[in-house]
Amino acid sequence: MTNIIEARSVTKKVALGKDNELHILKDVNLEVEEGEFVSVMGPSGSGKSTLLYNISGMDRITSGSVKIKGGEIGSLKEEELAKIRLETMGFIFQDINLLKNLSLIDNVMFPALVSTDADKNVVNQKAKELMKMTGIEKLADHTITQGSGGQLQRVGICRALINDPAIIFGDEPTGALDSNSTEEIMSILAEINKDGTTIVLVTHDIKVAAKTERILVMADGNIVSQKKMRKYDAQRDDSKEREESIMKWLIENGL
């Protein structure tokens, strides 16, 4: 398997006033294989979300190197980075972050329509299929004030998938959802991953981490431990065991 993400000695510093700076990521190394489903856990302030934003090119790293599909992104210009975000990545946020003035289906279609060669009908068809797959096809023409948190997060997932990205990043995608919605969203993500899309997400929820195949634990700006598991299969119904195994591992490692 080839690595789709390769991060080497990544550091991130943020200025706090004139002479003061905060060292958030300290020499982080990470490799993610194509088709892998990775979760990042850790206490608040450990740097897990910062890692996600830095390896996805949303933020600029202070030093080190990040390669996506073998290409270095640290030195890319804003326009080139935008192109990679549009064509290679999808992003799911805890706050969902939909565009306020667009209907739900327009939110889904928008990233595909900004490409000049997009065929509107094809995009529309695909958006409808994605919304059907995530169970929100009836909400297509609704506005964002007319959906529940879980429904809107599904719209966020459809939007992330509309351009067939190779990688999906998720920053606590279920953080604001109830347990039922969390379960449903994770099942959808597991399905997407099964089709070959790489997923890297940040979570503090063991139930979410239990659906992924590799769990990274961060503390004080670095990856301190990781656990590899078998790919999750909904048919096997072994969620409980996976959760307990993760819990045990965390306790054993004093995490």
Partner 1 sequence: MFVKMVKNDFIRNKIITMTVFVFITMAVILAAGAVTNIGNLIQGISKFQESAVPADITVMHAGEYDQGKIDRFTDQYRDHIAMQETMVLQNIYGSNIHFGQNQTMAGTIQDISFVLQNKNFDFILNLDNEKLDVKKGFVAVPIYFMEQHDLKIGDTITVKSGWYENQFVISDYARDFEMNSPLTSSKRFVINQDDYNEMLKMQAGELEYLIEFKLHENGDAAAVQTAYNEAGLPANGPILEGEIFAIFNSMSDMIVAIVIIFISMLLLVIASLCIRLTFLATIDEDMREIGVMKAMGISRKDIKKVYLNKYRIIAAAAGIIGYLMSFAAVNLLNRNMKLYIASDLSGSLNYILALIAPILVYVMIVMYCKRVLKRIDKISAVEALRSDIMERGKNSFPLLKNKFFSTNIYMGLRDVGKRFRLYRLLLVIFIVCTFIVILPVNIYNTMSSPEFSSYMGIGKQDMRIDLRRTDSITEDFKKLQEELQNDSDIEKFAPYITSSYQVRNAEGSWDYMNIESGDFSVFPLKFLEGRAPEGEGEISLSLANAAKDGLNKKVGDEVTVKTDGQEQKLTVTGIYQDITNGGKTAKAHTSLGVNEEAILWYIVSLDLAEGVDARKKMEYYQNAYSTAQVNDIKEYTQQTLGNIINQMGTVVVGGISVAIIIAVLITALFLRMLLSKDMSQIAIMRSMGLTLKQISHQYMAGTLMVLIFGIIFGVLTANLLGEFLVSLAMSSMGAAKIEFVHIIWQTWLLCPLALIIAVGLTIYISCKVAVKDDLSVVLRS
- Could you list the residues that contact partner 1 (CB under 8 A)? 49-50, 53, 58-60, 78-79, 82-87, 89, 91, 93, 95, 97-103, 105-106, 109-111, 113-114, 116, 118, 120, 124, 141-145, 159, 163, 171
d(CA 193, CA 80): 26
Separate counts of helices (H) and strands (E) for the chain: 8, 10
CB 231 within 8 Å of CB 37: yes
Nearer to partner 1, 59 or 238 (CB): 59
Give the nearer residue to partner 1 in terms of CB position, either 21 or 244: 21
Do 185 and 174 touch, CB atoms closer than 8 A? yes
Closest CB 210 distance from partner 1, rounded Å: 25
Q: Which is nearer to partner 1, 50 or 212 (CB)?
A: 50
- What is the closest distance, in whole angstroms, from the C-beta atom of residue 218 to partner 1 in the complex? 16
Whole-number minimum distance, CB 90 to partner 1, in Å?
9
Could you tell me the strand order of the sheet in which 198-202 lies? Answer: 89-93, 167-171, 198-202, 37-41, 214-219, 222-228
Q: Which is nearer to partner 1, 36 or 106 (CB)?
A: 106
Reduced to 3 states, what is the DSSP secondary structure of residue 137?
A: helix
Min separation Cβ 78 and partner 1, Å: 6
CA 93 vs CA 127, 229, 254: distances in Å: 19, 25, 29
What is the nearest approach in angstroms of partner 1 to the Cβ of residue 145?
Answer: 5
Q: Please give the DSSP secondary-structure letter assigned to residue 232.
A: P
Q: Is 217 helix (H, G, I), strand (E, B) or coil?
A: strand
Minimum distance from residue 162 beta carbon to partner 1 (Å): 9
When the beta carbons of 122 and 234 are compared against partner 1, the nearer one is 122
Q: Cβ 236 to partner 1, closest distance in Å?
A: 35
Q: In the chain, what is the straight-line distance between the N-terminal and C-terminal CA atoms, in Å? A: 30
Residue type, 133: M
Q: Which is nearer to partner 1, 141 or 233 (CB)?
A: 141
Cα separation of 207 and 218, whole Å?
18
DSSP classification of residue 121: H
Considering beta carbons, is residue 86 or 250 the nearer one to partner 1?
Answer: 86
